[in-house]
Chains A and B, each alone.
Chain A
C-alpha cells in the first residue's frame, strides 16, 4: 500500500522569497515520486519526477525536490517565488506495479500556494 501526506494545506510566501512544500510518503516498494502543479480550472502539469536516479531532482520553472529515503520525504523547493507560482501543488507516488495495474498514482491532498507581492 502507498500513501502521500502533504504537510501544509496552504502556504503563503512573498514574491522573491523561497518556497518549501513538504511531502512525506509511504510505499511498499521503491517508489517513483512526482510533483504536479495545477492552476485554476486547468489540468495538472508535471513539474519533476524521481525514479531512483539522482536524489536531487531539478524540474521546470526553477523547482527542485530532494528524495530522502531515511525520512520518506520528497520536499519541493524554489529559491525565489514568482507571482505565477500561485497555484495548487500535488505530491504523487507511484508504487512498483505490473502494467496490468495501469501505473496507478496516489495523490497527496494538495498544497495551495499564495504569493504576495
Chain B
C-alpha cells in the first residue's frame, strides 16, 4: 500500500531564516505531488504541484519554492522566511494517470506546523 511521510511535524524558525520541508511517498511510481498551506481559520491553499521530476507549477507568487529531486520526493523551501509564512503545511499525492486524473483523490501527509518568530 502507499504511504506518505512528511517531516518535521513541528518547526519554529526565526524571521529571515531558511526553510526546508520534506515529503516522500512510498508504494507508487510517478505520482502527482502537491504542497498546500492551511492558515489558521482558513481553508487550504495550493502552493505547488508536480506531475513529474522537474515539472513543477506554482499556484501563487510567494516567498517559497518547490523542488522534486526524485520521483517520490517533494521539497518545499525558502531562502528567507517571513512572518506571513506561518501556517500548517500539507503535502499530498495522487495517482499520476496517463490521461485525465480527475477521478483520483489526493492523499495527505500529517502536515508540518510552522511557526515564525
B94 on the interface (CB 8 Å rule)? Answer: yes
Distance between Cα atoms of A107 and B106 in the complex (Å) = 12
B86 on the interface (CB 8 Å rule)? Answer: no
A117 on the interface (CB 8 Å rule)? Answer: no
Q: Are A96 and B102 in contact (CB under 8 A)?
A: yes
Distance between Cα atoms of A41 and B96 in the complex (Å) = 27
From residue B68, how far is it (CB to closest CB) to chain A in Å?
12
Of A43, A103, A110, the residue contacting B90 (CB under 8 A) is A43
Question: Given contacts A44-B90, A99-B97, A104-B46, are A49 and B32 in contact (CB under 8 A)?
Answer: no
Q: Which of B44, B50, B105, B108 has most chain A Cβ within 10 Å?
A: B105
On B, residues with C-beta under 8 Å from A are 6, 32, 34, 43-44, 46, 49-51, 57, 88, 90, 92, 94, 96-111, 113
